[in-house]
Amino acid sequence: MNNNKDQKITIEDVAKKAGVGIATVSRAINNTSGISAKTKAKVLEAIEELGFTPNTSAQSLKVRHTHQIALVVSDIRNAIMPEIAWSVEQTAKHYGYRVVQINTSGNARAELEAIHEVKKLHVDGMIILPLAYPKTLGDLISKSPVPISIINYGKKLGPEYKADIVCMSKQEGNLVMEHLLKMGRTRIAYAGAAKDMIEERYFAYERALPQVDISLTYFGDDFSLQTGMEAANYFYSLKEMPDAVYACNDMIAIGMVNRFKELGVRVPEDVAIVGIDNNSWTTLTSPQISSVTILGDECARLATELLIKRIKENNQAPYEKVEFEPRLIVRESSVPMKRTPLQ
């Protein structure tokens, strides 16, 4: 028993005495998983010998949960985002949690601010679907005071991302390019937002071609219908139009299909178009649009379950990475067909 009444015994003293880490002492005190019976007994013995008294008030504050989580998306107006948000909300509700939603507009600073200000949100955890992926995002996530799950599309993530990650098993864009090349299309264009946004989707375009003709690439301001319409205008203005377009997402694809129709360009006879996301709007256009499904509802459900599991386990479990298989849904906008010769 420690007889020095003036010396305050700390959790660090207990850890040193027991020959373990501070986190292990915390697990023993809070009776949480991740510690063997033998180690727990050693920690409790050290507590007894040193006369350590845990700060129960601080403990209570530490484990108090708000039963709220945050969902950070780029733009709720993108038709795939309501599907993801709905799945997160319904899954969270099933476990007794509510959802606070934040839109970043795909802005790098806004994505960083969402992590920086997570404590002000009074949430137990966060699900983020980044778009800009600023360089310091991974480091910031690893230092977050609350656990984070990432829904990741179009980016290779390194070990600096200390979070549960839900993603695709292979690049969605590979399926688009394989399909268009198999159709025999030779002047394949690419339409997207800035090249460094969802960059792996653009890299799939580069990898599939022996050489990229930069005149067949269009980079707009965002992933909206407007960008799709502007891309259609640009491709129409070329001396020789592309015979196919790989759209980085469905909103761009929809914008192009509608604008090409206004310009008298036939889809898919003159230009085949394929997008990514498989959002519900792709079946409302004429022609209906081919797209790669990224299983937004399933990814969102699993990301939410992983986050809530981590919250309940006090962020102690190993991080998980779960991959889903993307699948191409072929519709009217890229049905292989014989071209009608001009009369």
Which pLDDT value is given to residue 214? Answer: 96
Starting at the edge strand that comes first in sequence, how are the strands of the sheet with 164-168 ordered? 98-103, 68-73, 125-128, 148-152, 164-168, 321-324
One-letter amino acid for residue 114 of the chain: A
Residue 86 and residue 140: Cα distance in Å, rounded?
27
Residue 293 and residue 277: Cα distance in Å, rounded?
5
Which pLDDT value is given to residue 155? Answer: 87
Each of the 343 residues of the chain gets a pLDDT tens digit; together they read 444 444 678 888 888 999 988 778 877 877 666 688 888 889 888 888 888 876 644 444 455 678 999 999 998 989 999 999 999 999 999 999 999 999 998 899 999 999 988 888 899 999 999 988 898 999 999 999 999 999 999 888 888 899 999 999 999 999 999 999 999 999 999 999 998 888 999 999 999 999 999 999 999 999 999 999 999 999 999 999 999 999 999 999 999 999 999 999 999 999 999 999 999 999 999 999 999 999 999 999 999 999 999 999 888 888 999 999 999 999 999 997 655 544 4
**Domains along the chain with CATH numbers:** 11-63 (1.10.260.40), 68-169+295-325 (3.40.50.2300), 172-294+329-334 (3.40.50.2300)
Residue 272 and residue 283: Cα distance in Å, rounded?
16
By CB atoms closer than 10 A (0-12, 13-18, 19+), residue 314 is middle
Specify the residue for token string 């959790």: 11
Q: Which residues does residue 291 pair with via DSSP β-bridges, in sequence order?
A: 275, 329
